[in-house]
Amino acid sequence: MTTKVIKGGTVCTADRAWKADVLIEGETIKQIGEDLKGDEYIDAEGAYVIPGGIDPHTHLEMPFMGTTAAETFESGTWAAACGGTTMLVDFCLPGEDGSIVNGIKEWHRKSAPQICSDIGYHMAVTGWNENIFEEMKTAVEMGVNSFKHFMAYKGALMIEDDEMFASFQRCKELGALPMVHAENGDLVAILQEKYMNEGITGPEGHAYSRPPELEGEAANRAITIADAAGVPLYIVHVSCEQAHEAIRRARQKGMRVYGEPLIQFLTLDESEYFNKDWDHAARRVMSPPFRNKKHQDSLWAGLQSGSLQVVATDHAAFNTEQKRAGRDDFRIIPNGSNGLEERLAVLWTEGVETGRLTPQEFVAATSTNVAKILNIYPKKGAIVEGADADIVVWDPKISKTISPSNHHSVLDYNVFEGFEVTANARYTLSRGDVIWAWGKNSQPQPGRGRFVPRPAFPSAHTALSKWKELNSPRKIERDPMNIPAGI
Ligand code: URP
Ligand code: ZN
Ligand code: ZN
Ligand code: ZN
């Protein structure tokens, strides 16, 4: 078996950074140490050697809002690799017959011939019945151990509280991780109609109709339901202080609640929707919408303090023509924005270069924490002997201006267009193969990527309910804060 040595770099993991070479044999890391020898050498002089990025949240080729996301499994995994992301976890939808097992099979059919690097799946639970209850077990056996529940998109994907509770209980039985899109879909629908009736039909109506209060309410509700079911909870695309506050409070009480801000939310704000040309604003329409600077500060603080654990993209890419379906009605603009290729470079530039995050915290948020929370650590997310050699030689001296003319997505725009980023992937390795080399005219290698099954969590992970009401006869007690009755 040929061996490769990543030579002369600073290995940077979630806990430390030190000068070392990394020896790769076949697909895995064989040794980390000084002066290692191999058949081939990869130059890491002046660069960090980090675990490949893992994007926990993408929607490639997803049928949604009357169209299909333009980013394919090939272009998505390729763009990811060019930006230092070696694995992504994509959201499957149930099949047309409502079967989640058929949904997973459909995702395999689409993704397998196309993927350039490894992927995993989450599954969306968009309703509740006996069949879904049964099939969730099969899904976990197929390596899909996390289920997303949409509290928004009324009339389409939205799920009711009783259904969500039933599904969360099922997750607990199976050792699976429930996830939520936290927005109060009923109130969003009312506000959407109100603004349309007032003649606010443009993209700014999208932002107005999805205030942070509605995200905070839903986050609190989902946390309460998870607590009642005794399961951990992962809240996707956290955009605001209200949702972050709910997560902080739950964690302080001992609950395992995870929060995922997006790179877009950390760096782009609501001004993108106002006094901008229609295309500019519509291209940035996503749910939840971009917020103001105060919310951004809250998200950065969460990453710094650990109350928010990972940074994702929610990459759901719709071309300008697709966005224009909502020309007269913001409710029809397909929701989603891009970031798969840009996530690491933008987080480095805006996070590490500014002193908000250490390089180790950067690694934790982009890779290691994702692998731990999604139960694929240390196969992924780690630079240790035996781990998959998904490694990025991260060069803090390669700068570029983000533009659709130099990105690798199929998208005809880029929400980060004009951002000057100060670091980039010099080399990206996926299971030992160099799949991207800066300035070397690398080409995508569709079909070489693999599906990574994610096993069920051990039962201890789920045995967390502080709330016994549902499991034992109700007793009237003073509340735990000792607040006298009547106040
Ligand atoms: O606007 C968004 N976020 N689009 C993708 C679907 C979702 O809600 O995650
Ligand atoms: Zn409802
Ligand atoms: Zn969502
Ligand atoms: Zn999403």
DSSP conformation letters of 225-256: HHHHHT--EEEEEE-SHHHHHHHHHHHHTT--
pLDDT of residue 275: 87
If one residue of 239, 314, 332 were mutated to test the ligand 1 pocket, choosing by the most ligand atoms within 8 A of its CB, it would be 314
Per-residue confidence (pLDDT) for residue 263, from 0 to 100: 99
Asked if the model's pLDDT at residue 20 lies above 90, the reply is yes
- pLDDT of 253 reads 87
Position 168 pLDDT exceeds 50: yes
pLDDT above 90 for 59? yes
ipTM of the complex: 0.94
Verify whether ligand 1 is closer than 6 Å to residue 148 (CB atom): no
Given this model, what pLDDT does residue 461 score? 54
pLDDT (mean) for 21-31: 98
Nearest CA to ligand 1 atom 7: 287
Distance (angstroms) between ligand 4 centre and the Cα of 61 equals 12
Q: Report how far ligand 3's centroid is from the alpha carbon of 479 (Å).
A: 34
Q: Cα separation of 46 and 429, whole Å?
A: 18
Distance CA 60, CA 473 (A): 47
Residue 266 Cβ contacting ligand 1 at under 6 Å: no
Residue 171 clears pLDDT 50, i.e. is over it:
yes
**Residue 254: predicted pLDDT:** 86
Of 237, 268, 338, the one to substitute when testing ligand 1's pocket (max ligand atoms within 8 A of C-beta) is: 237
pLDDT over 70 at 471, yes or no: no
For the CA of 286, the nearest ligand: 1
Q: How far does the centroid of ligand 1 lie from the alpha carbon of residue 290, in Å?
A: 12
Query: Does the structure show a pLDDT above 60 at 464?
Result: no
Calculate the average pLDDT of the chain.
95
Cα 239 to middle of ligand 1, angstroms: 12
pLDDT confidence of residue 246: 98
Phi, psi of 65 (to 5 degrees): 50, 45
Cα 223 to Cα 211: distance, rounded to the nearest angstrom: 19
> What's 388's DSSP letter?
B
- Residue 132: CB atoms within 10 Å: 23
pLDDT, tens digit (0-9, with 9 covering 90-100), for 107-130? 999 999 999 999 999 999 999 999
Q: What is the mean pLDDT of residues 263-290?
A: 97
What count of other Cβ atoms lies within 10 Å of the Cβ of residue 160? 14
- Residue 180 Cα to ligand 2 middle (Å): 15
pLDDT of residue 459: 62
What is the rounded CA–CA span in Å between residue 167 and residue 148? 10
Q: How buried is 485 (Cβ within 10 angstroms: 0-12 exposed, 13-18 middle, 19+ buried)?
A: exposed
Q: What value does the mean pLDDT take over residues 167-190? A: 96
17-21, 130-134, 226-230, 267-271, range with the lowest pLDDT? 226-230
**How many degrees, rounded to 5, is the angle at CA 354 between CA 248 and CA 340?**
70
**Ligand 1 binding pocket includes 415 (Cβ within 6 Å):** no
* Residues whose Cβ atom is located within 5 A of ion ligand 4: 314
Q: How many residues does the chain have?
A: 487
Round to whole Å and give the CA distance between 466 and 250: 11
Percentage, residues of the chain above pLDDT 90: 92
The pLDDT of residue 479 is above 90: no
d(CA 311, CA 296): 13
Q: Does the CB atom of residue 286 touch ligand 1 within 6 A?
A: yes
Is residue 381 within 8 Å of 362, Cβ to Cβ? no
pLDDT for residue 477: 52
Confidence (pLDDT) at 463: 46
Q: Classify residue 199 by its DSSP letter.
A: T
